[in-house]
Structure 1
Amino acid sequence: MAVDQENFLHLSRPLGPSALGFSGGSAPLTVNIQPQAVFSILDHAVRRDTADTQSTRVIGALVGVRSEDGTEVEVRSCFAIPHTENEDQVEVDVEYQKNMLALTLRASPRETLLGWYTTSHELNSFSALIQNFFASPETGTYPHPAVHLTINTDPGAAIETKTYISAPVAVNAERAAESCLFMEVPHRLLYGDAERAALETVSSAADEESRTVPVISDIEGLARALETVSTLLERVSEYISEVLDEERDGNHALGQYLMNALSLAPKVDSAAIEHDFNNHIQDVLMVSYLANTIRTQIDLAQRLATASLVGGDKDGEKGKEGEDGGKSDGRTGGGRGGKRGGRGGGRGAGVQREPREPRESAE
C-alpha cells in the first residue's frame, strides 16, 4: 500500500515499551459511554480489511460532550481512522482524521473530540505515540486529557472495555513523543429504557445457535419486565430475611441504599394502586376503541365516496343506452327487433307472405 509521508504519522519502534498500565486510586475523570459508540467500534472491528494490513487491531476517534468542569465526559459517537501497524512501525492517516473530525463537528456543533479507541487491551509505545497525538494542543484535546478506550473484540470472549488517560513522564526530548503514563479511569455504559430493551434483545441472541431472535411485542416486554422486578424483589426479601435471622452479616452500605430506595417509593395503599391501575386500563381500552371506530368511519366514508362515483357513471351509461334505445324505437320499431322487422318490411312491405308449396323431389 502506497504511503504518503506528508499525511501520515510515522514511528520506528524503540528498543522497549515505554507505556505502562496504571490504575490510580483517585478518579480525575469519569467516562460515560453510549451504546451506539460501542456498536460502531464492534462494526469497525468486524469489517476491518485484514488483507492490506498486518495489524490485529483497529483505531478511531471518540466524539462526545464534556462537562463544564472537565471531570466528566460522554462518548456519543466515533469514526474509524485508517492505519497500518507491524512490529517495526505504525502509520496513521492524519489528514483523513482531520477531515472526518471537521465533518463530524459540523454535523454536531455541540460535540468535541474526546480521544481515541482501539480493539486491543495492549498498551505499548505505539499506543503512547497515538495518545500524545490526540492530547497535543495542535491536533488533540489540550488542555483537557485525551481519553483512550480499549475494547476486547475476540470471538467468543466477553466484551470488556477499559478507559485511560495519560500523563507525561520524565524522559528526554527525543523520546517525549512516544512516552507517556497511562492511568485507568472509571467508566460506565449509559442507556435508557428503550435502549435497555434493545440491548436485552441483542444479548439474548447469544444463547441461540442462529444468533438471531425475534423482536418481542410491547405486551411481552411488559411481562418480562414484571418478571424481572418480581425476581429482584424476591432476592431483596431473601437477603433481608437472612440478615434478620442472623444467617448472614449485614452490610451498612447496602442497607442504606435499600432504605433510600424505599423512601422514594410513594406511600400509597394497595387498593388505591389497584384502582388506579384498573382506571388506566379502562382509559387505554377506551382510546383503543375510539381509534378503531375512527379508522372504521374513515374507511366507510372512503368506500361510500368511491361507490357514488362508480354508481353515477353506471347510471349515466344506462340512461344513455335508454335514450339511444328510444331513438331507435322511433325509427325501426324498437331495438334489434325493429331492425329485423324493417328487413321484413323491405321485402314484403309489411304484408304477410303466403307459404310456399314444397317442391317435389325429383324422381
Structure 2
Amino acid sequence: MAVVEFFPPPSPMPSATLHPVVRFNICDCYVRRPDQAERVIGTLLGSVSDGVLEIKNSYAVPHNEPADQVALDVDYHNNMYMCHLKVNPKEVTVGWFSTGFGVSGGSALIHDFYNILPPIHLTVDTGLRNGQASIKAYILVNLSLGDGPLAAQFQEIHLDLKMIEAERVGSDVLKTTVTDKLPNDLEGMEASTKRLYSLIDDIYKYVDDVVEGRAAPDNDIGRFLANELASVLKFLQMIFDNVFNKIIQDNFALFYLSSLIRTQLSIVEKLNTAAQIL
C-alpha cells in the first residue's frame, strides 16, 4: 500500500511583514478593476532578511479567467518589473497577491509562474466576509504518493503589518468608515506628537512605579530605555530651537509653493477650456 508523505515547509517556518501601502494599493486596484473582473491579481515586491520576508510594494497584472483556467499578461508583468527595478533595484519579486476569500482552484497555476523559492501568496478579503478585510499569507508545500508527486497544499504563515508612525496616522484615518478630509502635513505632525507625548507619559509612569516599588523592574526594558536615551543627540536649547524653526519654515515654504502651483494649474486649465469654447 502506497504511503502518502507530507513534506513540511522549510524550517524554521518563514514569516512575512506587510507595509500598509501594499494593502491600500491592492484595495485601490480592486476598486478600479474592469467591470467583468471578479478579482485582482498582481505581483508582490520586497526583500528577504534573516528568514523574514518584507513585502514593500505591489502592482496589479491584467489577467483572464475563462472556465477553470488563468491567463496572466506576462509581457505586462515583465515590463512593469523592469521599470520597477530601475527605481528600486533592491526590491525583487517575492510572490503574488489576489483578492477574495482564501485560495482558489487556479492559485497553484499562478503560483508556479512566480517560480522564486519560496514565493508568497497573499490574499485580501475585499468581500468583508468576516466583517473586515482579512489578509493572509501562504506558502506552497507538496504532497507525494510513494515516489511520485500527488498534490500541493497552501499553508498559512505568520504575517505582521509593519508601519512607521506617519503611516499609522494615515492608516487610522483611512480605516474609518467616514472622514471629512485627509489630514495635511501639520495635522499629521500634530497627531504624531500627541501620540509621542502619550508614549512618554507611559514611560514616566512605568519608571516612577519601579522606583516607588509599585512595579517589578524588568532588566530588558531598562536596557532598552538606556540605549534609546543614549542614542538621542544632545543639543543646547538655543541650537535645537534654531534647527526646529528652520525646518518649520522650510515646510511652510514648500506648502506655499505647492499652493501657488496648484493655483496656476487651475488657471491654465480654465483658460484652455475657455479657448476651446470660443
- Return the TM-score normalized by structure 1: 0.53
Alignment correspondent of 1:147? 120
Change (3 A) 1:25 1:154: farther
Alignment correspondent of 2:262? none
CA RMSD of the aligned region, Å?
4.1
Tell whether the 8 Å contact from 1:31 to 1:187 is kept in structure 2 after alignment.
yes
Q: CA deviation at 1:212?
A: 3.3
Runs (4+) of structure 1 exceeding 6 A deviation are: 22-25, 172-175, 284-288
| Residues paired across the two proteins, number | 242
Please say if 1:31 is aligned against 2:50. Answer: no
Alignment correspondent of 2:190? 223
Change (3 A) 1:182 1:217: closer
Structure-to-structure mapping, 1:98-247, within 5 angstroms:
98-109=74-85, 110=89, 112-123=92-103, 125-127=105-107, 129-130=108-109, 133-134=110-111, 136=112, 139-142=113-116, 144-155=117-128, 157-171=131-145, 176=150, 179-190=152-163, 196=166, 200-201=169-170, 203-204=172-173, 206-207=175-176, 209=178, 211-218=179-186, 220-247=187-214
Counterpart amino acid of 1:182?
Q
Structure-to-structure mapping, 1:1-363, within 5 angstroms:
26-28=12-14, 30-48=15-33, 52=36, 58-67=39-48, 72-84=53-65, 90-94=68-72, 96=73, 98-109=74-85, 110=89, 112-123=92-103, 125-127=105-107, 129-130=108-109, 133-134=110-111, 136=112, 139-142=113-116, 144-155=117-128, 157-171=131-145, 176=150, 179-190=152-163, 196=166, 200-201=169-170, 203-204=172-173, 206-207=175-176, 209=178, 211-218=179-186, 220-266=187-233, 268=234, 273-280=236-243
Q: CA deviation at 1:255?
A: 3.6
Counterpart amino acid of 1:100?
Y
What is the percentage of aligned positions where both structures have the same residue? 15
Q: CA deviation at 1:149?
A: 0.9
- Return the TM-score normalized by structure 2: 0.66
Could you list the per-position Cα deviations for residues 195-220 of structure 1 after superposition, in whole angstroms to 9, with x for gaps in the alignment?
x25x52453255574x33144253x4
Matched residues in 1 for 2:97 and 2:192: separation? Answer: 34
Could you list the per-position Cα deviations for residues 19-44 of structure 1 after superposition, in whole angstroms to 9, with x for gaps in the alignment?
x9x9998343x534343322221023
Counterpart amino acid of 2:63?
P
Matched residues in 2 for 1:70 and 1:207: separation? Answer: 34
Partner SS for 2:157: strand
Change (3 A) 1:69 1:101: farther
Could you list the per-position Cα deviations for residues 131-177 of structure 1 after superposition, in whole angstroms to 9, with x for gaps in the alignment?
xx42x3xx3324x111111223345944443322222122479974x
User: Normalized per residue, which structure has more strand?
Assistant: 2
Matched residues in 2 for 1:259 and 1:284: separation? Answer: 28
Q: For structure 2, list consecutive stretches of 5 or more residues without a partner in the other structure.
A: 1-5, 254-278
Q: For structure 1, list consecutive stretches of 5 or more residues without a partner in the other structure.
A: 1-19, 292-363
